[in-house]
Structures are given as C-alpha cells and as structure tokens.
Amino acid sequence: MAVLGLGARGRAAPRVARPARPPRPWLPAAAAGAAPTMASTGQASGSNKAMNGGRFDFDDGGTYCGGWEDGKAHGNGVCTGPKGQGEYSGSWHYGFEVSGVYTWPSGSTYEGQWQNGKRHGLGVETRGRWVYRGEWTQGFKGRYGVRQSTTSSAKYEGTWANGLQDGYGSETYADSGE
C-alpha cells in the first residue's frame, strides 16, 4: 500500500511505501499497528524508496515528525500520542526510542536512555514531588538509584529491583530521621 501527500510546493509527492508506525509506550498493543498517512511534508528519493523524513499523522490522532529510514522512525524525531496522551522527543533507531525525553499528560517526565521501547540504562524520572536518578532495567528502576523529594529532605539512596527498593540502601525521612 502506498501513501500520497503534497510536497512543499503543493505538488503531489511521489508514491512511497507506507512506513511502519513507531512504538509509543502509552498505547495498547492492539493500537500500535495503526497506519499513518503522510501530511504536507516529507522527502522521497525515488519512486520505490522509503521516506527519509517528514510529518506523519496516524489514524488515531497521533503524529510523528522527524527522520525515517527503511519505513521506521530513525534519527531525531518527535512522536505525540492521540488526544494529548504524551510526547517523546529524541533520537530513534529503526522504530525504537534511544535517548530522549518522554512527557506524560500529568506533567511527569523521563529523560534518559531507552532500549526496545522501554526505559533502560541511565535516566531521570520526575513524578509529582519525587525525582528518581539512576539505573533502569527493562522499564523498571533497577540496580542503583536515588529517589528524592522536591519538597522535603525525604530520600532513598540504594539498590532497586523490579522498580522497588530492594537490598542495601539508606533512607532519610522528612523529619531528617534515618
């Protein structure tokens, strides 16, 4: 199947293969296969080659604006969810987030590394009055990190497993007790 859009000067863009939808962690798996349609920008290099950049609108209202290679998000780009359900801005590698900032509708953010669509590596999560700085493993707080309140002296510094405090660490309570 091919998509047809308008080029920068209002002319019909060449037909190209429909790119695969980049993963978006805030969508259920069933919605992840929705097909995009090309909006008013994009570049093609030959009639049978994939787009190398542009803006794509998805049937569910989400958008992606950035680089593409082999039909997948690649390079730098911004992906927004339908009806304001979040936004990821950063680098992509063949359809997966690599390093960037994800912002939830609540205002919570994660800035850091990703692997296979999950937070993985070093990152900083700001959620409500708490900030976590540390390691992530397959989407969970993992190994070592610091969770600190932005409104008091409450803090936990130590090891984590599957997103929970686990093993060695020290905890300081809001009243400065340990």
Q: Which of 69, 103, 137 is the last residue of a domain?
A: 103
For residue 133, is it within any domain?
yes
Same structural domain, 141 and 96: no
Mean pLDDT over the full length of the chain: 77
In eight-state DSSP terms, residue 46 is S
Rounded Cα gap, residues 5 and 171, in angstroms: 56
Strand ranges (E), the chain? 2-3, 16-17, 36-38, 54-58, 63-69, 72-80, 87-93, 96-103, 109-115, 118-127, 130-137, 140-149, 155-161, 164-172
Residue 162 tokens read as 């599957």
Q: pLDDT confidence of 8, banded at 50, 70, 90?
A: very low
* Residue tagged 């805030």 (tokens): 26
**Is residue 127 scored above 90 in pLDDT?**
yes
Between 1 and 62, residue with greater pLDDT: 62
Same structural domain, 121 and 170: yes
Tens of pLDDT, residue by residue over 66-103, are 998 888 889 999 999 988 789 999 999 998 999 999 99
Q: In b/e form, how buried is each residue of 94-112, taking b as 16+ CB within 10 angstroms? A: ebbbbebebbeeeeebbbb
**Is residue 15 scored above 70 in pLDDT?**
no
Rounded Cα gap, residues 130 and 22, in angstroms: 30
Structural domain boundaries, residue 137:
108-177
For residue 9, is it within any domain?
no
81 near 87, Cβ under 8 Å? Answer: yes
Has this prediction a pTM greater than 0.85?
no
Among the residue ranges 12-16, 57-61, 62-66, 74-78, the one predicted with the least confidence is 12-16
Same structural domain, 99 and 113: no
Same structural domain, 98 and 139: no
pLDDT of residue 18: 40
For residue 69, is it within any domain?
yes
For residue 72, is it within any domain?
yes
For residue 6, is it within any domain?
no
Residue 133 tokens read as 């700085």
